[in-house]
Structure 1
């Protein structure tokens, strides 16, 4: 299962970042990468740094398992590993589906001076951040595939990084750029899962109708 986890990790990262970036560049002439998170020590910088660390650490669990690190006894069962494989593959597929659903608005990172269409249809009608939800799902699946102590770290760091990025960076940006349209959308659609993490505000169903779906 350690080898399978390593392969799934490499394929998931290659598709989510490499392949998706190449497709976006081919379709729009822009890579979609907005990697400048501002001055060191800022909230955006910490969010980006933690996210990069989580992605890099994701390799550690499978590598540690390959090197012979024992799994946590409570999770050391073939059914757990098989379930993790299904979850990781599902998360990878969901990540790509949500990325593609963003169309030309897809970005990695935030450029405060840029305005893109607000996407509210498809998976974004269920949760405001389905890409991040799917990435956490993939990470959770990989952790179950190689449930050692090292594999738990990237999952924890990833969740923390995504929470910081979404709450402190992306939501303020979207509220500034899209105003009432985003406020109405966020008032009725959960942050990561349906119905949970909705922002207070006036629910205005008609506001996003003219935006990209």
Structure 2
């Protein structure tokens, strides 16, 4: 299962970041990469750094398993392994499809120093939750962690879930409110953050999370 987890993680990186970047360049001439937001030490910077660290921690789970780190025995049953593998595959597929649904507005990070305003995407999966890409990434992370459920993998999953919350609440939502104003405020009030109906916001133009 360790080899399978590493293989799926490689597919995840290639499809979710490599292939999607190539598609973006061909469509727009721009990679869509904006990197970590904010100056080092700011809340925005820490949110981005936590997200990058979570990706590293995710691959360290199966890597440490290859060096002999034991899994948690109660989580290594055949049923858990089968469900985890299927969950990871569904998450990877969902990540790519929701990225494609974002069209030319797809970005990694936000470019507040640039004079760009992307379209606010509210249809397709974005009509169900505001951050379907991050929801799919959480599903992927959970599947990969439970494929090789050692302490490093589970801590990596916890870090990923925290990082996704920070990235959305500290970086992306304030940015989208500034860029789209009342349109995004209405969208926040109608659609859940990561799950349908959960995390809807009161109508307010304040920039806090």
Q: TM-score, normalised by structure 2?
A: 0.94
Listed as ranges, the gaps of 5+ residues in structure 2 are 205-209
1:1-213 pair list within 5 angstroms: 1-112=1-112, 113=114, 114-201=116-203
The 1:166–1:187 alpha-carbon spacing in structure 2 relative to 1, beyond 3 Å, is: same
For the residues of structure 2 that align with 1:73 and 1:146, how far apart are their CA atoms? 11
For the residues of structure 1 that align with 2:76 and 2:168, how far apart are their CA atoms? 34
For the residues of structure 2 that align with 1:25 and 1:148, how far apart are their CA atoms? 38
Output the aligned Cα RMSD. 1.1
For the residues of structure 2 that align with 1:36 and 1:159, how far apart are their CA atoms? 17
Residues 191 and 200 in structure 2, CA contact (< 8 A), matched pair in contact too: yes
Listed as ranges, the gaps of 5+ residues in structure 1 are 203-213
Residues 105 and 119 in structure 2, CA contact (< 8 A), matched pair in contact too: yes
Task: State the Cα distance separating 1:101 from its structure 2 match.
Answer: 0.3
For the residues of structure 2 that align with 1:57 and 1:71, how far apart are their CA atoms? 15
Q: Which region of structure 1 is more displaced relative to structure 2, 96-105 or 109-118? A: 109-118
Task: State the Cα distance separating 1:66 from its structure 2 match.
Answer: 2.1
Task: State the Cα distance separating 1:68 from its structure 2 match.
Answer: 2.6
For the residues of structure 1 that align with 2:36 and 2:154, how far apart are their CA atoms? 28
For the residues of structure 1 that align with 2:166 and 2:146, how far apart are their CA atoms? 24
For the residues of structure 1 that align with 2:58 and 2:89, how far apart are their CA atoms? 15
For the residues of structure 1 that align with 2:58 and 2:72, how far apart are their CA atoms? 17
Residues 146 and 154 in structure 2, CA contact (< 8 A), matched pair in contact too: no
1:3-49 deviation line (CA, Å, top 9, x unaligned)? 10010001101111111111100110000000152211011110111
For the residues of structure 1 that align with 2:4 and 2:36, how far apart are their CA atoms? 34
Task: State the Cα distance separating 1:78 from its structure 2 match.
Answer: 1.2
State the SS of the aligned residue for 1:12.
Answer: helix
For the residues of structure 2 that align with 1:62 and 1:81, how far apart are their CA atoms? 13
The 1:103–1:2 alpha-carbon spacing in structure 2 relative to 1, beyond 3 Å, is: same
For the residues of structure 1 that align with 2:150 and 2:143, how far apart are their CA atoms? 13
For the residues of structure 1 that align with 2:164 and 2:76, how far apart are their CA atoms? 28
Residues 36 and 49 in structure 2, CA contact (< 8 A), matched pair in contact too: no
